[in-house]
Amino acid sequence: MYSSSLADAPAIREPLHAPVAHLVRGGVTEGVHYGSVVVLGTDGEVDFQLGDIEVAFYPRSALKPVQAVAMVRAGLPLDGELLSLAAASHSGEERHLAGTRRILELAGATEDDLRNVTDLPYGPVVRDLWIREGRPPSRLAQNCSGKHAAMLYTCKLNGWSPDGYLDPAHPLQQAIAEIVEDLTGQRIARVTVDGCGAPLFSVSLNGLARAAARVTTAVPGTPEARVADAMREHAEMASGSGRDVAALMRAVPGLLAKDGFEGVGVAALPDGRAVAVKISDGANRARVPVTAAALVRAGVDPAQLTPFEGEPLLGGGEPVGAITPVRALRP
């Protein structure tokens, strides 16, 4: 199904994206979202592709499940809600903050030891409440704090210094890079810095889909299966109330889904079917319906995905159009 040898790193060049969604208002195409889409079958082979699925790109937070797998392989003993939080782009709800504090406690660390950036909560409802209450930005509220707390805990368990844990040369980040290459099946093209300050690894869209499929098809009890189980069973801990990826995992039994900034999405089923999406302009309004269309392409019942067909375009407060995946995406 998957080769044990690593493919070369994907090429670094301008992506050859293709139209993936149209903004149709009143029967006229008002705008076009470009991007790339890949659908893998149960055998790990590409069943469908659109755009450029082999060029180097940054998966952003869609790679967090792989980072969590790497930490579990390195001895991180978390399960359930806390392991889901370790792979989260959370909304900053109180349960997320409490969970992060618990991981820090297990690590013998405090919020001051975190090295992610300070920010307000990612969830708009929570963020608005923070602003009304006059609460300042914090590292704990930032959406990657669970991952960073887990990184500190992993360092403690392995006797690695917490100082410089975000340095790509740190043993923790070297261990994560090794698992990124293992699960994607390809060399990393480039390493840069993600929005939270952690190293960010460039792979291909096809590689991201392969990694998700390998996580969901893993033998029960393995690090991969533990991460998948935690995220599926505690979907709101990996995201937040009202978030589309949590709703998607609730709607499609067994589905693992993760979003990332700049219009990235990945989803995989227990039998290895997987999809990955990159929207060129980073628009979430296109990511959701394109991901849903890709899942239909993968064989998911369209009735389960009706809520994810995209928000309507309004005119005078009334629906006058929609964001429609291109014809090539529709089976």
Average pLDDT over residues 73-78: 98
pLDDT at 238 over 70: yes
Asked if residue 212 has pLDDT above 80, the reply is yes
How far is 20 from 327, CA to CA, in rounded Å?
A: 9
pLDDT, one tens digit per residue, over 149-171 is 999 999 999 999 999 999 999 99
Give the amino acid at 190: R
Does residue 75 come out as left (phi exceeding 0), alpha (psi in the -120 to 50 range) or beta? left
Q: How far apart are CA 148 and CA 306, in angstroms?
A: 35
pLDDT-derived band at 5 (thresholds 50, 70, 90) equals confident
Whether residue 104 is predicted with pLDDT greater than 70 in this model: the reply is yes
| pLDDT band at 210; cut points 50, 70, 90 | very high
Instruction: State the pLDDT at residue 2.
Output: 55
φ, ψ of residue 119 to 5 degrees: the values are -165, 165
Q: How confident is the model at residue 116 (pLDDT cuts 50, 70, 90)?
A: very high
Q: pLDDT digit string (tens) for 15-55?
A: 999 999 999 999 999 999 999 999 999 999 999 999 999 99
